[in-house]
Structure 1
Amino acid sequence: MIFIITSAIMIRQSRNFFYLDGTKKRFSILNLEFPSSRSSISILIRQIKKLPVIESKMVFSALRGHLYTDFFFMPGVYVGVLLLCLTASCESSGYISDLFKALAWLQPLAWFCDIIENIYLLGQLKKPIPASARFFIFYRLLEITKWGLSFTGFLLAILQLIYHHL
């Protein structure tokens, strides 16, 4: 239930994600999660500040709200994937069962990566600074780990459960 409520809140908040780059344009939270360069996040934040003051405040408020809401969203996602993988493990045997157990117990790592990401992004909203080359690599690895573990666990578990029940 928390997953559904927080998802709805974050979708609503994301409707207010705009920046000014000659014209007013939309952006997604994925632009912050997968920046194309070390300075992409700080450039985007500067472009948000170019909006009229009221709109800029609305965008920053929506972004902060989205990131704080995500902290409540995370348990639903990562615990859900963990339980899904454990269920798939029970429906499997041998190495496949072990794979699902490993994916299940790696979900706390994905959750931890998501927490670090949100803390970093909240800090960037206060004081945007281009990432160092090392931190940019670390941030990319953080995102790959977070999305890779959660998405792989979810997808493989769903496929295994569908296969088992057919």
Structure 2
Amino acid sequence: MIQIPNFLFLLCAAFVIMLVATWLMRKQSQFFFTKDPVRRKFSILEMEFPVKSFDLEYLIKGIHDLPDEADKTVTAVHRQLLVGSLLFIPALYGSIYILCMHVAVNVETPAIGRWWFVMLGWAQLVSLLLDYVENIYFWRMVGNKNIVIPKPDLSKPEIAAPSFKMIQILEIVKWGIVLIGFVCSISVMAYFWLIGNY
């Protein structure tokens, strides 16, 4: 178990870093355009949470179907992924790690509660690694001009793209760990505050 000195200062610093990173990523997103079937803006969330199979492939193909803007869009996506990887991701998971460890130090009994929060804190490393894997995958996909999308065959059931299944599993695991850590930590801190132990 790790005692976090200056808990509140570190939490506020992580929050400020997340705000700055969000502002920088928003500046890059003004250059995100795809052709679907007409020119339109898109967000990084459309890449992270595709609604249907092959949505990601159609989105990336649409980027390269706009030859005048494709390079600018690819560069902007790469910059947003870079800012996210260097600033936003470590600040987000770091702040939840700090919350979990702070609660673990303050939970006296039972011992299983203490170890639950230590485990949740260290589990943020899994989310961090999954986010980096996801960003590397998107980095490579966006630069690929030769995306192959199979033509739909109405006589057969639609086959889900491997990327679609992979992204769904990755997002469920990543965000599941984050949300459990955040909700559990905030709930216990609120409980301690209400009973006057904080």
* Fold match (TM-score > 0.5): yes
**Judging changes above 3 Å, is the alpha-carbon distance between structure 1 residues 7 and 21 closer, same or farther for their aligned structure 2 residues?**
same
**Judging changes above 3 Å, is the alpha-carbon distance between structure 1 residues 126 and 81 closer, same or farther for their aligned structure 2 residues?**
same
Q: Which runs of 4+ in 1 moved over 6 A?
A: none
Alpha-carbon distance in 2 for matches of 1:134, 1:59: 24
Match of 1:39 among 50, 54, 75: 54
Length-normalised TM-score, structure 2: 0.72
Q: Percent identity at matched positions?
A: 30
Length-normalised TM-score, structure 1: 0.85
**Kept in 2: contact 1:19–1:44 (CA 8 A):** yes
Aligned to 2:152: none
Alpha-carbon distance in 2 for matches of 1:10, 1:155: 26
Q: What pairs up with 1:9-158 in 2 under 5 angstroms?
A: 9-51=24-66, 53=68, 55-72=69-86, 73-92=88-107, 93-94=109-110, 95-127=112-144, 128=147, 133-134=161-162, 136-158=164-186
Alpha-carbon distance in 2 for matches of 1:134, 1:42: 11
2:174 is aligned with 1:159: no
**Judging changes above 3 Å, is the alpha-carbon distance between structure 1 residues 47 and 112 closer, same or farther for their aligned structure 2 residues?**
same
**Judging changes above 3 Å, is the alpha-carbon distance between structure 1 residues 143 and 129 closer, same or farther for their aligned structure 2 residues?**
farther
Letter in 1 for 2:135: N
Higher Cα Rg, which structure: 2
1:5-49: CA deviation from partner (whole Å, max 9, x where unpaired): 222211222233232223332322121112234422111011122
Q: How far is the alpha carbon of 1:119 from its aligned partner?
A: 0.7
Give the structure with the larger helix fraction: 1
Q: How far is the alpha carbon of 1:77 from its aligned partner?
A: 1.4
Structure 2: gaps (5+ residues): 1-12, 150-159
**Judging changes above 3 Å, is the alpha-carbon distance between structure 1 residues 151 and 26 closer, same or farther for their aligned structure 2 residues?**
farther
Range with bigger deviation, 27-36 or 92-101: 92-101
Q: Secondary structure at the match of 2:66?
A: coil
Q: Secondary structure at the match of 1:106?
A: helix
**Judging changes above 3 Å, is the alpha-carbon distance between structure 1 residues 48 and 115 closer, same or farther for their aligned structure 2 residues?**
same
1:93-139: CA deviation from partner (whole Å, max 9, x where unpaired): 42433322221110111011001101111110122456x85554333
